[in-house]
Each structure stands twice: as C-alpha cells, then as structure tokens.
C-alpha cells in the first residue's frame, strides 16, 4: 500500500461536518445505496443513539432497518453475525468498546473464523461500530482503548479513523467489505469538525494517511492521538524539527510499506497510542520496524503510551494516565537528539 498525502477532499467547497455527523452520513448513504444494510443496537432508534450517530435513520428507513434492542450485547452481535452469514450487511453498534468484551465469542470464535471454516464459501460482512478511549470522566469501565484485542485476532479487520473525512470514507468501505470489520471511534472526536464531501466516497482499508509531511522524525499515531501529535508537530517545527505524522487509519490491514518508507527517510521514530503500553499495537509496529528497517534507524524507537492502570474517574488523574502533548514532545526530542 502507498500512504495518501491528504489532498483537499473533493465535494462542496468549504463544507465541514462534525465527526459524528460524518458517520451518520455514511450510514445514511450506504443504507440508501444497498437495501441489505441495516443498523442494530441499543437506543439507536427514536433516541438516535447516545452520541446521536443514528439520528434520523429510523424515520427514513423504518424499524426493520434500524432495530432498537434491549441491553444484551452478546445477542445483538450474535444476531448481526447470523444476518451477515445469510447475506445481509449489518452495522452493529456496541456503545462502549468496554462492552465488546461481552461479545468475544461471537466476534472471535464465530465471525472471524467463518470464512476459513467454510472453506472460503461463506463470509461475514459485518461492521461492529463502537467507541473507546479516555474522556468525559466516565471511569474505568467506560474508558478503555482495547484495539489490541481485535488487532490480535486473524480474520478481523480494524479501522480507527481520526477525522470526519476518514470516518465517512472508511465506514463506507467497511460496510462494503465482505469480512468483519471492527470500526473504532473515539468519544472525544465526535464533536471535532473537518471537511467532508457531500457525495459518496470510500477510502480503501489498509491505506495510511500522511497527516503532515516531515523529514526529521516519523510520528505514528491513531485515533485521538493524531490531533495531539499534530499539535506537537507544530510546536516542534518552531524548534526546527520537521515531524512526519502518519495515521495508519486501519490497524488491520496495516499499511506497513507507508510506515517503513517514512522511517527510511527520517531515520527516527516515535509511536503514540492511548492504550496501555503492555501488549499494545505500538510494540508490534516497533517490532516490524526493527525487523525491516533496522539499518536505517539512527536512534531507538520511542513509544509513548498510556500507563498500565485502570482509568480513574477524576479528570486530572485520567489525563495523567494517557499521553499528553508534552509527552510526545519529549519523546521526539529524545529520538532526534539521541
């Protein structure tokens, strides 16, 4: 794959959308385009979902395609897996990524395995939409970053957009994909705004995006760590350090070549994840760089990650548990000046 260098998106000049509205628009357009697409989840009907992602869809498509359910995540995801096997394209909403732990048998043992166990004759075109990450003081059971759990499972794809533009385009591709896709949003990104074309478009799964070009250090980040990395890059530019910010956009498939190409040019690497460091995606990306671009490195790979602790309720303490801009600045300076 080759990374995209984020050209101005096509479409209506000057049009911007909130992240949550970009997800809503993708759902609406895909449901209008394909009658096999439907949404299922808790509170997604008249209430429009807790984050208003499905607002207006019930009125437009009716209760057979916007299915409001009791609080029963294993049954909701199980119904989605079954529907996908029979040829539908369900978009299942699990409100918090923490709650996906209740659905691991359906996702890991059924959806991820079905193509192989059917000898390639069957597929599970399921999208599991959820959101995670720290913010809003919702405490330890509603603040986790669990992307590494799904990253570990063969047969699953993992999309994790950081901008409204990426959210709309990646969700369209995820819905059209014939394999199960875990689509991870972030609670603090829903009210961020950015340019989004009104017309339909899809961003291929597995293509990274260069959010900011640079020559001195490759800074790899995803989800809510992308805006923090871009803020750090702006501050570092004033010091004469030009950082290249790469957003994988998808953890599976991972755009390895885009990452390695950047590393070979800059010779310095910092990887930023909100999740705890132990057993994280950043460590695996670092191992890929170590194996395939070691001779180009001028300093050890730096990883900036969350602390190995449950997230406290206190706003000050929760922020102390995850990477801040100052942590990213310090890591880049260590890498560049090593």
Residue 88 is classified by DSSP as: -
Kindly name the residue from 142, 186, 302, 318 that is annotated as catalytic: 142
Q: Could you confirm whether 318 is annotated as catalytic?
A: no
Helices within the chain (DSSP H only): 19-33, 57-61, 73-85, 104, 114-117, 147-151, 164-176, 225-237, 256-266, 281-293, 315-320, 325-336
Active site residue 73: yes
- In 3D, which of 247, 288, 296, 287 has the Cα closest to residue 268? 296
DSSP state of 40: E
Structure tokens at 267: 């010779």
Residue 112 CA to residue 96 CA, distance in Å, equals: 20
- Which is catalytic among the residues 30, 73, 147, 302? 73
d(CA 171, CA 181): 9
The catalytic site residues sit at: 73, 142
């Amino acid at each position: 794959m080759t990374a995209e260098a984020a050209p101005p998106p096509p479409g209506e000049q000057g049009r911007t959308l909130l992240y949550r509205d970009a997800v809503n628009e993708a759902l609406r357009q895909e449901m209008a385009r394909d009658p096999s697409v439907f949404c299922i989840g808790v509170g997604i009907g008249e209430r429009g979902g807790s984050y208003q992602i499905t607002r207006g869809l019930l009125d437009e498509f009716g209760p057979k395609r916007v299915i409001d359910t009791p609080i029963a995540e294993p049954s909701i995801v199980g119904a989605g897996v079954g529907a996908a096997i029979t040829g539908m394209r369900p978009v299942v909403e699990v409100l918090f990524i923490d709650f996906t732990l209740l659905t691991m048998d359906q996702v890991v043992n059924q959806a991820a395995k079905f193509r192989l166990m059917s000898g390639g004759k069957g597929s599970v075109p399921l999208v599991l939409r959820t959101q995670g990450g720290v913010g809003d003081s919702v405490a330890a059971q509603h603040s986790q970053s669990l992307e590494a759990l799904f990253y570990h499972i063969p047969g699953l794809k993992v999309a994790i957009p950081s901008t409204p533009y990426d959210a709309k385009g990646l969700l369209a591709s995820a819905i059209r994909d014939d394999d199960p896709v875990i689509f991870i949003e972030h609670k603090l990104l829903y009210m961020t705004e950015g340019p989004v074309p009104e017309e339909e478009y899809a961003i291929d799964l597995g293509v990274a995006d260069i959010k900011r070009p640079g020559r001195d250090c490759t800074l790899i980040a995803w989800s809510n760590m992308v805006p923090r990395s871009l803020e750090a890059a702006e501050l570092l530019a004033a010091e004469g350090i030009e950082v290249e910010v790469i957003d994988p956009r998808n953890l599976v498939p991972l755009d390895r070549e885009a990452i390695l190409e950047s590393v070979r040019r800059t010779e310095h690497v910092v990887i930023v994840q909100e999740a705890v460091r132990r057993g994280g995606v950043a460590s695996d990306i670092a191992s890929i760089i170590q194996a395939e671009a070691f001779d180009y490195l001028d300093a050890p790979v730096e990883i900036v990650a969350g602390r190995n602790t449950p997230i406290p309720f206190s706003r000050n303490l929760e922020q102390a548990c995850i990477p801040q801009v100052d942590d990213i600045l310090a890591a880049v300076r260590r890498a560049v000046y090593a």
